[in-house]
Amino acid sequence: MELNGRVAIITGGSGGIGRAMAKAFLDQGASAIVLADLSEDAVMAAAGELGCDGFVCDVTDEQQIVDLVEHTQNKHGPVDLFCSNAGASVEGVLTDAANEVWQQQWELHVMSHLCAARAVLPSMIERGEGYLLNTASAAGLLAALGSGPYTVTKAAAVKMAEFLSITHADDGIKVSVLCPQGVNTAMAPRSLGNGQTDGIIEADQLAQVVVEAVREERFHVLPHPEVETYVRRKGDNIDRWLGGMRRLRRRSLEG
């Protein structure tokens, strides 16, 4: 999909990855961008700086996502691209993460993607075209040992994107899943699975990768291309990969 003349929604849009994607899409000639986020002050400030539209939205509330889509359609026309990007990291592995934390991460990283799809798919299917870009993480393809809720729900986010692609490709719907390692944002991880990342990249670098991936309609959007190699190795020999992750965990505990 070429972004010129397109209408896009970006959740988690007031800063970091979301804001960088908005700027990149506008540079590509997008006709309208609606930034959505929890903080009214932050999202309206970002929208004002970029010259786009801002909307307050809690993506864990399905009705608010419906309201966001209706606002966009009424003001700017049909939604061509929905970037379901909102997310947050938490600490905790298994027994030390409360059920409430697991549920919050599930609502934020999985159900928000489902609710976004429910809100925009009817119009997209009627037109025979549309694009869903869901932000997951390299942790969803691999693992981040410091947070069980984050890793598990990001893995579910990847599966959600896969299932949307399988189910709606014949309706003309394109789907991509964004899986970065470290990005220089407010929630930037300095390690992946308590091991070193392949470098902390800037959000605007990531946004350019997203533009290219959307243009080429690639499913995996990997700003750190090394992740593809790691995923292949994991698939080739899961027992070896698990053994390596266990060793990594032991080293992190010893350190």
Provide the pLDDT confidence category of residue 142 given band limits of 50, 70 and 90: very high
Where do the domains of the chain lie? 7-254
CA 15-139-251 angle, 5° bins? 120
Please identify which residue in the block is written with the tokens 């729900």. Answer: 153
Gap between the Cα atoms of 207 and 196, Å rounded: 22
| Beta bridge mates, 220 | 177
For the cut 80, the answer to whether the pLDDT of residue 186 exceeds it is no
7-254 CATH choice from 1.20.1250.20, 3.40.50.720, 3.40.250.10, 3.40.30.10: 3.40.50.720
Q: What digits encode the pLDDT tens for the residues 19-55? A: 999 999 999 999 999 999 999 999 999 999 999 999 9
User: Quick one: pLDDT at residue 190?
Assistant: 47
User: Quick one: pLDDT at residue 194?
Assistant: 46
pTM: 0.93
Gap between the Cα atoms of 20 and 145, Å rounded: 28
Provide the pLDDT confidence category of residue 224 given band limits of 50, 70 and 90: very high
User: Quick one: pLDDT at residue 192?
Assistant: 45
Q: Using alpha carbons, select from 173, 71, 64 the residue that is nearest to residue 122.
A: 173
Provide the pLDDT confidence category of residue 188 given band limits of 50, 70 and 90: low
* Mean pLDDT of all residues in 92-121: 94
Least confident of 173-177, 189-193, 236-240: 189-193
Provide the pLDDT confidence category of residue 123 given band limits of 50, 70 and 90: very high
Gap between the Cα atoms of 103 and 106, Å rounded: 5
CA distances for 218 relative to 132, 209, 221, 222, angstroms: 12, 11, 7, 10
Q: What digits encode the pLDDT tens for the residues 80-94? A: 999 999 999 888 888
For the cut 60, the answer to whether the pLDDT of residue 6 exceeds it is yes
